[in-house]
Amino acid sequence: MNRSFTNKIILALLIISGAFLFYTSCSHPMNSSSYVVFGTECRITLPVSDSKKYFDILKQMEKKFSYRDENSEIAKINKNAGIAPVAVSDEVFYVISEAMRFSAETDGAFNPLLLPVIKLWGWDTGEYRVPTKEELERYLPLCDTNNIVLNENDKSVFLTKKGMGLDLGGLLKGYACDVLYEQLKKDGIKKGILNLGGNVFVFGNKEYKVAIQKPYAERGVVADNVFVKNKSVVTSGAYERGFYNNGNYYHHIIDPSTGECAKELYKSVTIVSSSSLVADVYSTAIFVKGDKLKSDFLLNYPEAEVIFN
Q: Which stretch binds ligand AMP (CB under 6 A): 80-88, 107-115, 157-165, 219-227?
A: 107-115
Q: Which residue, 73 or 167, is less far from ligand AMP as judged by CB?
A: 167
Q: With CB cut-offs between 5 and 8 Å by kind, which of ligand AMP, Mg ion, none does residue 256 bind?
A: ligand AMP
- Total count of residues recorded for the chain: 309
Q: Would the CA dihedral through 132, 133, 135, 136 be positive or negative?
A: positive
Residue number with the shortest CB distance to ligand AMP?
170
Number of residues that bind Mg ion (CB under 5 A): 3
Q: Can you state the percent helix, strand and coil of the chain, rounding each to 5?
A: 40, 25, 40
78 binds ligand AMP (CB under 6 A): no
Report 50-109 residues binding Mg ion (CB under 5 A).
none
Q: With CB cut-offs between 5 and 8 Å by kind, which of Mg ion, ligand AMP, none does residue 252 bind?
A: ligand AMP
Q: Which residue, 270 or 274, is less far from ligand AMP as judged by CB?
A: 270
Contact call for residues 77 and 156 (beta carbons, < 8 A): no
253 binds ligand AMP (CB under 6 A): yes
Site string for ligand AMP, 148-177 (x = CB under 6 A): -------------------x-xx-------
117 binds ligand AMP (CB under 6 A): no
Q: Which stretch binds ligand AMP (CB under 6 A): 5-13, 36-44, 112-120, 224-232?
A: 112-120
Q: Which residue, 42 or 253, is less far from ligand AMP as judged by CB?
A: 253
178 binds Mg ion (CB under 5 A): no
Cross-strand bridge partners of residue 200? 195, 233
Integer angstrom CA distances of residue 70 from 33, 75, 96, 155, 156: 28, 5, 18, 20, 18
Q: How far is the CB of 118 from Mg ion (least distance, A)?
A: 14
Q: Which residue, 193 or 285, is less far from ligand AMP as judged by CB?
A: 285
Number of residues that bind ligand AMP (CB under 6 A): 17
Binds ligand AMP (CB under 6 A): choice among 179, 254, 277, 293:
254
Report 266-285 residues binding Mg ion (CB under 5 A).
280, 284
18 binds ligand AMP (CB under 6 A): no
Distance CA(154)–CA(57), nearest Å, equals 25
As to burial, measured by CB atoms within 10 angstroms (0-12 exposed, 13-18 middle, 19+ buried), residue 76 is middle
- DSSP, collapsed to helix, strand or coil, labels residue 268 as strand
DSSP strands (E only) in the chain: 22-24, 31-37, 40-46, 86-87, 148-151, 156-159, 192-196, 199-203, 208-213, 222-228, 231-237, 242-245, 248-251, 268-273, 305-308
131 binds ligand AMP (CB under 6 A): no
Q: What are phi and psi of 200, to 5 degrees?
A: -100, 140
DSSP H or E run through 128 = none
Q: How far is the CB of 26 from ligand AMP (least distance, A)?
A: 26
Encode 101-113: b = buried (16+ Cβ within 10 Å), e = exposed. Answer: ebbebbebbbbbb
Q: With CB cut-offs between 5 and 8 Å by kind, which of ligand AMP, Mg ion, none does residue 111 bind?
A: ligand AMP
Cβ-Cβ contacts under 8 Å for 111 (sequence gap 6 or more)? 103, 143, 145, 254, 256
Residues near ligand AMP, by CB under 6 A: 110-112, 114, 118, 167, 169-170, 236, 252-254, 256, 280, 283-284, 288
Residues near Mg ion, by CB under 5 A: 170, 280, 284
